[in-house]
């Protein structure tokens, strides 16, 4: 269709596939992007602060708030007795009291909140509330929990073939254990909720949440109301990373209960230290393994125990531990295998979703096992990894019975190996290590194969609304939330292209349970796959109505009407989109629509952990080089090359941002980010002064990211692949490179190193 040139007023290129800046970028850099705590407060707003248990486990005998109530500005306290609805949160397992009832189960458990005129008054007063607690023995160690069979959910076993025989008849065997620490999300914006009572017992909740629908459900449940009484809104989060999937709900419920008691708007913004103490983190894991392998390092049998430290309640630990089992193969065919997964109850924070959602904890152990095998055989770990990769024609079914149909790892790893000069550098490094008495270098390539879809199949659905206004401007709303990942930007790009209008014509509005209901959490990397498609479908319906309208005018078929460059073109004429829309409005054409999408093909049985839980896999590989100081255990990441698969990129800049950001966050998990609980169960690293996420100086001098040039083989939105979580696990290459360097420092070439690889753990690995 050749449009007359004078009508070419829109952007020349389609919006998708180009690196549009984040839809809020200009507001963010100007301080004009609004987060929950920035919303102008309604007159009379009160502030709440939590009252925290200082005991890891005990009987709660009494709460004495008398001193707090005497303090300036204090309005009162809100305790379990003030809850009009269910005193237990509406979680799937129904095992978490809203406020502690007769027991406390970790240091930091919220017993109630103090409400005052100002934040600082509330916080000061909360510390003056005296809790009478009779201490009981607590379980703080995950292996102790396994011993004591202290579980939040029953153990699950995934098994295929005869691993015992596979190990017994193998020419070589290894056994070992490993401990991998958790991770604090450290979203820059702490948890915050703002609850406003409306008329007729309706509620408006502003929440920094990845799951407004769940916040709505929890608040209604605690207030004893139906869901339609509660509207939850989230324009954006200052970071989520999984930490605001369920955890935001608690804050909103506490704020709403306080608002109900005092009949005033109440805001609850956690102080950073309280945020660390109250909210769950990435699950720490402990592992034991026994593996049999042949002379090439091919695994012939594996028995693996994964113990997830879930903390005091189930929260999302079931699906997190499931995903760890699903990803304990990472990219490798395991053959005869048994994986036992324990979901351990300990008296610490209730660990929760965190980017990768158990996937990283599953993958790291198999990567450790393969490089241990390589060192035992005197082989390059990359050769052992390649030997064990899933095959294309055979050896291509996972231990949960899903065929791997879209495997691109063989060519992807081969290209990275070549581009990063892996073999030459390995030789250079060996020469260096032979010559330097103090600094040892190490290198590793590790792959990622990450399953995309919520394992809870029913979550894989999404809805959207597209409104076209009479001036041709477009507003989109969908159930997904923006936490920095660029979801809203990508959705706007997709809608712009569907309607053939410039990106700037499309705006997004805040995620709102009163617009799109029953939306799933924005999680599992699925935001764009689900919501992008739903928005695309909504826009498509508007487009089809407009096409029908044009077809009638121009006497053609609707399929002949083209939407591009801000123009709508039929055989007779090309009309600017805005003009067409105005005409159509006057002809009473519906200019808005909903859209709905559900992921095809997926199913799985959560009792046997078998089926096709994932629509497709996202792939990638990273080559990392590090140096360690054998006198102190300090380390630096020197060089990183990444080749990652995002399918056909909807927005390369955003995708690369996710890859780089995920990688650095993963690097933090495995290097500097150490959570330390003392023997009383108190989290000793509860602020950025003691808990160290990567800073600018940790970015490797050489940090190269390339995208794999192939569309998703499954029919996914725009041919793209999900990108939120998979790159996180590329950072396992850093940890493996550190182990490689530590091995070079040891006469026996063996390495026992727990994660994170702090200077102390590296030194222990070298000298231990």
Partner 1 sequence: MESKTIRFVRRGELVSLTNVPPDRTLLELLREDLSCTGTKEGCGEGDCGACTVVVAEPEDGALKYRAINSCIRLAHSIDGMALWTVEDLAGEDGSLHPAQEAMVQCHGSQCGFCTPGFAMSLFGMYQNHVCQGETVTRELAQEELSGNLCRCTGYRPILDAAQQMANLPRVQVDEGEILRQLEALRVRREQVASLGTYLDPRTLPELLALRAANPQAQIVAGCTDVGLWVTKMHMQFPQVLDVTRVAELKRVEQYEHHIAIGAAVTLTDAFDALVRERPQLKTFANRFAGLPVRNSGTLGGNVANGSPIGDSMPLLIALGAHVVLLSQRGHRDLPLEQFYTGYRKNVLAADEVVGWIKVPRPKSPHPGPLPQAGEGASGSTPSPRLRGEGGGEGEFLRAYKISKRYDDDISAVCLVVAMRIEDGAVAQVGIGAGGVAPTPARAVQTEALLRGRPWTLEAAQAAAASLRSEFRPISDMRASSAYRSEVLGNLMQRLWLESQGFEQINLESFRLAEATAP
Distance of closest approach, residue 172 Cβ to partner 1, in angstroms: 34
Residue 42 or 148 with smaller CB distance to partner 1: 42
Q: Of residues 6, 31, 43, 709, which one binds partner 1 by CB under 8 A?
A: 31
Give how many residues touch partner 1 by CB under 8 A.
97
Distance of closest approach, residue 232 Cβ to partner 1, in angstroms: 19
The phi and psi torsions of 389 (rounded to 5 degrees) equal -60, 150
Task: Determine contact, residues 285/309, Cβ cutoff 8 Å.
Answer: yes
Q: Where are the alpha helices (DSSP H) in 631-731?
A: 652-670
| C-alpha to C-alpha distance for 408 and 449, rounded to whole angstroms | 10
User: Which residues have a Cβ under 8 Å from the Cβ of 618 and sit 6 or more positions away?
Assistant: 448, 449, 450, 452, 525, 645, 646, 721, 722, 723, 726
Distance of closest approach, residue 124 Cβ to partner 1, in angstroms: 5
| C-alpha to C-alpha distance for 630 and 681, rounded to whole angstroms | 32
Q: Of residues 694, 718, 724, 726, which one binds partner 1 by CB under 8 A?
A: 694
Nearest by Cα to 155 from 335, 345, 284, 289: 345
Residue 311 or 727 with smaller CB distance to partner 1: 727
Q: Of residues 1, 120, 168, 392, which one binds partner 1 by CB under 8 A?
A: 120
Cα-based distances in Å from 702 to 420, 565, 665, 668: 11, 39, 17, 17
| C-alpha to C-alpha distance for 456 and 459, rounded to whole angstroms | 6
The tokens for 283 are 């699950």
Strand partners, 192: 269
- List the x/- string, 432-461, binding to partner 1 by CB under 8 A: x--xxxxx-x--------------------
DSSP string, 332-383: B---SEEEEEEEE--SS------TTTTHHHHHHHHHHHHHHHHHHHT--HHH
| C-alpha to C-alpha distance for 534 and 528, rounded to whole angstroms | 9
Distance of closest approach, residue 483 Cβ to partner 1, in angstroms: 6
Residue 600 or 697 with smaller CB distance to partner 1: 697
Site for partner 1 in 644-663 (CB under 8 A): 653-654, 656-657, 660-663
Task: Determine contact, residues 475/516, Cβ cutoff 8 Å.
Answer: no
Site for partner 1 in 128-187 (CB under 8 A): 185-187
Site for partner 1 in 184-213 (CB under 8 A): 185-190
62 binds partner 1 (CB under 8 A): no
Q: Of residues 504, 594, 698, 710, which one binds partner 1 by CB under 8 A?
A: 698
Residue 407 or 651 with smaller CB distance to partner 1: 651
Site for partner 1 in 472-501 (CB under 8 A): 483-486
758 binds partner 1 (CB under 8 A): yes
Cα-based distances in Å from 506 to 199, 473, 487, 492, 589: 33, 6, 14, 6, 20
Residue 561 or 744 with smaller CB distance to partner 1: 744
Q: In terms of DSSP bridges, do strands 203-207 and 151-160 run parallel, antiparallel, or are they unpaired?
A: unpaired
Q: Of residues 2, 66, 200, 689, which one binds partner 1 by CB under 8 A?
A: 689
Residue 13 or 29 with smaller CB distance to partner 1: 29
Segment interacting with partner 1 (CB under 8 A) among 34-42, 280-288, 506-514, 557-565 = 34-42
Distance of closest approach, residue 745 Cβ to partner 1, in angstroms: 13
Distance of closest approach, residue 767 Cβ to partner 1, in angstroms: 8
Nearest by Cα to 355 from 462, 214, 450, 272: 450
- List the x/- string, 209-248, binding to partner 1 by CB under 8 A: ---------------------------xxxxxx-------
Distance of closest approach, residue 688 Cβ to partner 1, in angstroms: 4
Q: Of residues 606, 636, 713, 750, which one binds partner 1 by CB under 8 A?
A: 636
639 binds partner 1 (CB under 8 A): yes
Residue 25 or 148 with smaller CB distance to partner 1: 25
21 binds partner 1 (CB under 8 A): yes
Question: Is 725 marked active-site?
Answer: yes
| C-alpha to C-alpha distance for 589 and 644, rounded to whole angstroms | 44
CB atoms within 10 A of CB 636: 16
Ramachandran class of 282: left when φ > 0, alpha when ψ lies in -120 to 50, beta otherwise: beta
- From the list 233, 290, 498, 725, the catalytic residue is 725
Segment interacting with partner 1 (CB under 8 A) among 119-127, 167-175, 337-345, 394-402 = 119-127
Distance of closest approach, residue 444 Cβ to partner 1, in angstroms: 16
| C-alpha to C-alpha distance for 766 and 761, rounded to whole angstroms | 9
Residues designated catalytic: 725
């Amino acid at each position: 269709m050749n449009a007359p040139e004078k009508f070419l007023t829109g952007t020349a290129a389609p919006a998708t596939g180009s690196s549009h800046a984040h839809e809020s970028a200009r507001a963010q850099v100007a301080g004009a992007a609004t987060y929950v705590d920035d919303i102008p407060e309604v007159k009379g707003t009160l502030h709440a602060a939590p009252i925290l248990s200082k005991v890891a486990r005990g009987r709660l005998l009494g709460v004495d708030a008398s001193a707090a109530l005497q303090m300036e500005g204090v309005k009162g306290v809100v305790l379990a007795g003030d809850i009009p609805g269910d005193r237990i949160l509406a979680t799937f397992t129904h095992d978490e009291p809203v406020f502690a009832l007769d027991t406390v189960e970790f240091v930091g458990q919220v017993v109630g909140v103090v409400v005052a005129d100002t934040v600082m008054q509330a916080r000061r007063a909360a510390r003056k509330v005296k809790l009478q607690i009779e201490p009981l023995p607590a379980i703080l160690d995950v292996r102790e929990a396994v011993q004591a069979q202290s579980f939040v959910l029953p153990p699950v076993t995934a098994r295929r073939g005869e691993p015992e025989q596979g190990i017994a008849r193998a020419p070589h065997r290894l056994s070992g254990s490993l401990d991998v620490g958790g991770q604090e999300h450290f979203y820059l914006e702490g948890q915050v909720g703002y609850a406003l009572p409306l008329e007729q017992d309706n509620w408006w909740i502003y929440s920094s949440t990845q799951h407004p629908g769940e916040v709505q459900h929890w608040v209604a449940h605690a207030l004893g109301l139906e869901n339609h009484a509660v509207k939850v809104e989230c324009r954006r989060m200052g970071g989520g990373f999984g930490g605001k999937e369920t955890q935001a709900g608690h804050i909103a419920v506490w704020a709403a209960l306080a608002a109900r008691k005092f009949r005033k708007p109440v805001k609850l913004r956690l102080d950073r230290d309280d945020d660390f103490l109250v909210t769950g983190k990435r699950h720490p894991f402990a592992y034991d393994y026994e593996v049999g392998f042949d002379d090439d390092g091919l695994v012939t049998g594996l028995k693996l125990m994964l113990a997830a430290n879930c903390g005091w309640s189930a929260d999302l630990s079931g699906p997190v531990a499931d995903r760890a089992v699903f990803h304990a193969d990472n990219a490798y065919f395991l053959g005869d295998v048994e994986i036992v997964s324990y979901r351990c109850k300990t008296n610490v924070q209730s660990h929760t979703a965190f980017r990768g959602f158990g996937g990283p904890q599953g993958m790291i152990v198999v990567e450790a096992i393969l490089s241990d095998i390589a060192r035992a055989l005197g082989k390059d770990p990359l050769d052992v990894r390649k030997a064990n990769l899933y095959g294309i024609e055979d050896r291509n079914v996972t231990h949960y019975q899903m065929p791997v149909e879209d495997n691109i790892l063989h060519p992807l790893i081969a290209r990275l190996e070549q581009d990063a000069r892996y073999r030459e550098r390995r030789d250079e490094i060996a020469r260096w290590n032979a010559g330097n008495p103090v600094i040892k270098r190490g290198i590793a390539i590790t792959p990622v194969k990450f399953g995309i879809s919520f394992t809870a199949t029913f979550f894989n659905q999404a809805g959207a609304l597209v409104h076209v206004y009479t001036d041709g401007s477009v507003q989109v709303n969908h159930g997904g939330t923006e936490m920095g990942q660029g979801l809203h930007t990508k959705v706007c790009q997709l809608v712009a292209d569907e309607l053939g209008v410039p990106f700037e014509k499309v705006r997004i509005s805040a995620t709102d349970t009163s617009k799109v209901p029953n939306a799933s959490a924005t999680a599992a990397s699925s935001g764009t796959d689900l919501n992008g498609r739903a928005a695309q479908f909504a826009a498509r319906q508007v487009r089809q109505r407009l096409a029908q309208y044009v077809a009638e005018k121009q006497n053609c078929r609707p399929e002949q009407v083209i939407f591009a460059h801000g123009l709508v073109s039929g055989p007779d004429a090309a009309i600017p989109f805005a003009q067409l829309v105005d005409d159509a409005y006057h002809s009473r054409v519906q200019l808005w629509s909903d859209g709905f999408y559900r992921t095809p093909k997926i199913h799985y049985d959560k009792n046997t952990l078998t089926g096709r839980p994932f629509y497709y896999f996202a792939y990638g590989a990273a080559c990392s080089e590090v140096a360690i100081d054998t006198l102190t255990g300090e380390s630096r990441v020197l060089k990183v090359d990444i080749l990652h698969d995002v399918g056909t990129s909807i927005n390369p800049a955003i995708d690369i941002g996710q890859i780089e950001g995920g990688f650095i966050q993963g690097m933090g998990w495995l290097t500097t980010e150490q959570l330390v609980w003392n023997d009383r169960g108190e989290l000793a690293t509860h602020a950025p002064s003691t808990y160290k996420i990567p800073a600018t100086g940790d970015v490797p001098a050489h940090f190269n990211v390339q995208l794999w040039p192939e569309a998703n083989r499954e029919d996914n939105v725009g041919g793209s692949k999900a990108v939120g979580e998979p790159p996180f696990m590329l950072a396992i290459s850093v940890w493996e490179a550190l182990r490689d360097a530590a091995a070079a420092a040891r006469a026996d070439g063996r390495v026992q190193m727990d994660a994170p690889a702090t200077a102390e753990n590296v030194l222990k690995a070298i000298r231990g």
